Amino acid sequence: MNHPPVSLQIEITTGTRTVLLDQTQQMLPLTEVLRHIGLPLNTRCGQRGKCDGCLIDLLRGKLIHLVDGEIINAGNPLLSVRACEYRVTDPQNSPPELRICVPARSLLAYEPQVLKDYRISVPFSIFPLWQQIPVQRQEPDEHSATADGAAHYLKQSLGLRSTPIVTPAALQQWKQNRGVSKVWAVLQYQPSGWSITAFEQEPVRQPLGAAIDIGTTTVVALLVDLSTGQVLAQAANFNGQINLADDVVTRISLCGQDPTMIARMHEAVCEDTIVPLLRETLEIARVPADTSLQAVAVAGNTTMQHLFAGADPSGLGTVPFTPKFLEYLHLNGPRVFTVAKNGSAPAQAVHLLPSPAAYVGADLAAGILASGLIYDDGPSLLIDIGTNGEIIFKKQDLLLGCATAAGPAFEGAGLACGMRAGDGAIAYVHLKTDPLQIQTRRIGENGYAAGLCGSAYVDFLAEARRTGLIDTMGRFDLQAVPDAQAHIIAWRPRRSSVEDRAMVLAYGQAKRPIVVAEADIAVLLSSKAAIAAGIMILMKRAEVTPAQIKRVYLAGGFGTYMIAANAIACGLLPGFTPEQIVPVGNTSLAGAYLSLVDASAMDEIRRLARCVQTLELNLDPEFETTYIDQLALPEVRPT
């Protein structure tokens, strides 16, 4: 029997649409119906009922649950449901009118996308942490005749879970604007919900925000148009704290020994690093340099979050590793950044993403969402190769995390010719033998090779071991490869009086040799061992083998350029196959961006940060021996 069509009215911010659903469409989840008519929702979890990205309001009529067949009716209070879990009811069960509202925050803004050096693997909406919404001030007795009425109106129209709080300053402005027919409510995301912080007579013409990833070694900033989610500019530089100490542990212990170091570290990352980066992005986007951003979202490891906030990290240095805070923080911009003479700070509000634990930071919480791991039933791994190698294991609802002190080598710091992945960096190395030929490729078209980035070092370790040019302990074996000696020079590392041997891979400007020294190899092997041992112990505790892992999401700047087979061959990713590896780039930056432009992503990161169980590797009895075993390069199998 053919069903007659069902009429569906859909309220969206720009008006109301009515569609007639035929029999086939009546059986589809509402998310599919809406997608077919050009209103795709933010189905971040792949329509599995695991996120709230697809929430809609049922205003009139009934819907039926796709799995258990339960019928729900519109009523008071307003019923919000996940559109992926419901379909329309059969026509004989349907009242003449079925009406739903799709709030702006549930509409899809972008499909997953790959950008320059970060990838967002989940869909998202544009519903930023800072918003300005027009409110018509009505005659007395109408819904927005009072500030509270306006707050209630905003809750309804934006589909918020609770009524935003009107701050005293906003209330004052409301009273001052008596007689003005239209005002702009400024809404800010806060730990306990949304607040209305102002009622302005004019909107901000181009509200701006920034997403910032604070790595131990490098810091990256994105300038974002908050009204569209568009990334206007990107800038990166070394974290100014490396002038004070290279790694996290030393920075913590310096702060423990001398409390004045906390302020110096804070200044080094905020004033010396982030403020110039923000200025650079403003300049690229041709925005006045003294513009104050409406909102900044920041992700970093727990120590970086502490130092950014000016909090004492010394509790993170010793067992039981007690942080001052882990939860999401909303900070006043002028409290974090130095205020200029004209009274403005580089940003008005800072949103610090939450961290799961002392050594599993907000950067990883951001990555769990941005990489899509959160919606992967696993068993899968997320590995973020930075100065602090952080690893998450996921299987169904279990999230298990650990961190390992890898050092900054794979970010190019501390090596003879190391640099970040960027223009001029050699990113690929391939060796041919008989006679030895060294092939390299660099990032960018112009200029000279400037140095080697992490992926090139991974290639070198794998290729040099494959050809026998280095032995399992990382020493050059010049007898093994004809003509190898011709590429070797004596090399004196900076701050050392002892000469070392180094292999010239290429020449840069003014014939400057770009080399890998034996001392570099030792540092790289130590980093590789720390990461490999962390992965192995985590898998052991989770009782899985590499072959059982479905996907290895590989995060970190250099993952974008790295050849997975070489990371496996040199033992950095021990026991996996290239098919398992999914490079996802800088997921900390991607997660900071997501939470800046989509408040529901921030909600999700706050939720998942509480779910991660952590493993303290330095308390694990097997970690040290596993680390020592992994210091060697793998034996080469005869071909």
Three-class secondary structure assignment of 527-538: HHHHHHHHHHHH
Least distance (Å) from ligand FES to the CB of residue 36?
A: 16
The CA distances from residue 281 to 45, 159, 341, in Å, are 32, 33, 21
Interface positions, 4-63, toward ligand FES (CB under 6 A): 43-45, 47, 49-51, 53-54
- In the complex with ligand FES, the residue whose CB is nearer, 145 or 611, is 611
| Alpha-carbon torsion, ordered 219, 610, 119, 596, to 10 deg | -70
- Under 8 Å between Cβ of 103 and 73: no
- In the complex with ligand FES, the residue whose CB is nearer, 44 or 99, is 44
- In the complex with ligand FES, the residue whose CB is nearer, 82 or 528, is 82
Least distance (Å) from ligand FES to the CB of residue 24?
A: 21
Closest Cα to residue 567, out of 532, 536, 516?
532
- In the complex with ligand FES, the residue whose CB is nearer, 47 or 273, is 47
- In the complex with ligand FES, the residue whose CB is nearer, 44 or 266, is 44
The CA distances from residue 295 to 208, 222, 316, 596, 623, in Å, are 7, 12, 28, 8, 41
Is residue 82 a contact point for ligand FES (CB under 6 A)?
yes
Least distance (Å) from ligand FES to the CB of residue 373?
A: 15
Distance CA 564, CA 566 (A): 5
Q: Nearest to ligand FES by Cβ — which residue?
A: 84
Query: Torsions phi, psi of 456, nearest 5?
Result: -65, -40
Instruction: Give me the helices (H) in 543-572, please.
Output: 564-569
The three-state secondary structure class of 314 is: helix
- In the complex with ligand FES, the residue whose CB is nearer, 50 or 541, is 50
Least distance (Å) from ligand FES to the CB of residue 164?
A: 24
Least distance (Å) from ligand FES to the CB of residue 455?
A: 34
Count of residues engaged in binding ligand FES, rule: CB under 6 A: 11
Least distance (Å) from ligand FES to the CB of residue 20?
A: 24
Least distance (Å) from ligand FES to the CB of residue 47?
A: 5
Least distance (Å) from ligand FES to the CB of residue 49?
A: 5
Is residue 369 a contact point for ligand FES (CB under 6 A)?
no
Which tokens go with 441? 């490729």
Residue with structure tokens 């604070």? 214
* Residues contacting 86, CB < 8 A, separation 6+: 29, 30, 63, 64, 65, 66, 72
* Strand locations in 453-565 (E): 488-491, 500-507, 513-517, 551-555
Task: In the chain, count H helices and then E strands.
Answer: 16, 32
Least distance (Å) from ligand FES to the CB of residue 57?
A: 14
- In the complex with ligand FES, the residue whose CB is nearer, 31 or 217, is 31
- In the complex with ligand FES, the residue whose CB is nearer, 50 or 62, is 50
Closest Cα to residue 196, out of 185, 182, 204?
185
Closest Cα to residue 42, out of 115, 116, 120?
120
- In the complex with ligand FES, the residue whose CB is nearer, 49 or 482, is 49
Least distance (Å) from ligand FES to the CB of residue 494?
A: 52
- In the complex with ligand FES, the residue whose CB is nearer, 225 or 604, is 604
- In the complex with ligand FES, the residue whose CB is nearer, 12 or 544, is 12
Distance CA 575, CA 626 (A): 14
Interface positions, 173-212, toward ligand FES (CB under 6 A): none
Least distance (Å) from ligand FES to the CB of residue 311?
A: 35
* Residues contacting 286, CB < 8 A, separation 6+: none
Is residue 87 a contact point for ligand FES (CB under 6 A)?
no
- Displacement of CA 308 from its chain's centroid (Å): 17
Secondary element (H or E) of residue 256: helix 248-257
Binding site for ligand FES (CB under 6 A): 43-45, 47, 49-51, 53-54, 82, 84
